[in-house]
Amino acid sequence: MKKSKDYSQRTDTTALLGNGLNFLNRAREELEAGQVMFSIVSFWTAVEILLKVPLVHEHWTLVCSGKRLERRKYLEGDFQSVSYDEACARLGDVLEKPLSKATIAIFDKVRRHRNRMVHFYHNAQSDDELRQIQAEQADAWFALNRLLRDDWEPLFGSWQKLRLGMHETAMLRGNSFYAEARYRHPPVQDALETFKQNGVTVSKCEICHQQSLAHVMPASGMRFIRYECMVCNAKDPVAEICCPGCHKLHKMKAELFSSDFECETCGLTMSRYDALRSPPETGSRYPGTFGCSMCHHSDTVYEYGEKFLCTNCLELYEEHNACGRCNTFSSWVPDNSKEEGCASCDYP
């Protein structure tokens, strides 16, 4: 009985999360199309839905209002859902996960715009007024995303966390207002300041257009420069290769389909892995290859010093794991891979 109950709660949580993300996508599309007012309505609908995700995860009755509650009517949609204020109260009183005063203040700005749109009308017309509304929505989106990805992280499985991350990346790269909100976030500013104090170069990201691209060396002894954006998470790893034949330095970038290394000066040809190893090691803890979760190639990740390197996309990993269903090794598999499988499984 408990297993059935747990499965039902997971299903409800996943469905509610998906519905909320759909409205967020619509809000982003409308904002990018210049339909600011429609975007406000879609965005606020997403907020109201997603704030209920932790409640449903705890128990379905927490999203219902009224004295007489029936599971059958809840499944049929024949019930009164809790209001935004009630959802916030239950997050604090029941789950002991209250929204901060700062987050509530940010949400209230968007809620007032939405109420004027739906129940009366909104008279914002000038470019400055519309830009202010967009900026406030971006701040609210960022606050909501932090709840989903940080405060409520234990509620979601590995696949859902990956989905949230992909959704965040699309938002950051698709709209400058979202990227600006992320750039202003104190942890991002703190990270950028730390990089600068340590002598790390920070430049403008060509994707999100923020001054947030750090030129990072992954570890001592590795001939890599990783261009990592602290805002949109764009990564462009570049490896410096010294040709064993003529000792000329080369820049090796990630490739969609990797090919052998060939020195343009002396013509020496070798595999990308042999070219990247420095120096070649006599022994290996893991002589075989395994799959890369970043570029989805099945046999491009090798042992590289204390880490693991994909010779295709140049992604570095700390560890690798085996899928509990198909036993395929990869740089990342879901925590519940025995039940859900992985990308290499023949079935989902």
Q: Is residue 92 very low, low, confident or very high in pLDDT (cuts 50, 70, 90)?
A: very high
Give tens-digit pLDDT for 217-259: 766 556 677 888 998 888 788 887 788 888 888 888 887 666 7
pLDDT of residue 72: 81
pLDDT of 340 > 80? The answer is no
Q: Where are the domains of the chain?
A: 2-184
Q: Is residue 292 very low, low, confident or very high in pLDDT (cuts 50, 70, 90)?
A: confident
pLDDT of residue 193: 93
The half-sphere exposure of 174 on its side-chain side, counting CA atoms within 13 A, is 17
pLDDT of residue 337: 72
Give tens-digit pLDDT for 137-179: 888 888 888 888 778 877 776 666 667 777 777 777 777 777 8
**% of the chain with per-residue pLDDT over 70:** 83
Q: What is the model's pTM?
A: 0.61
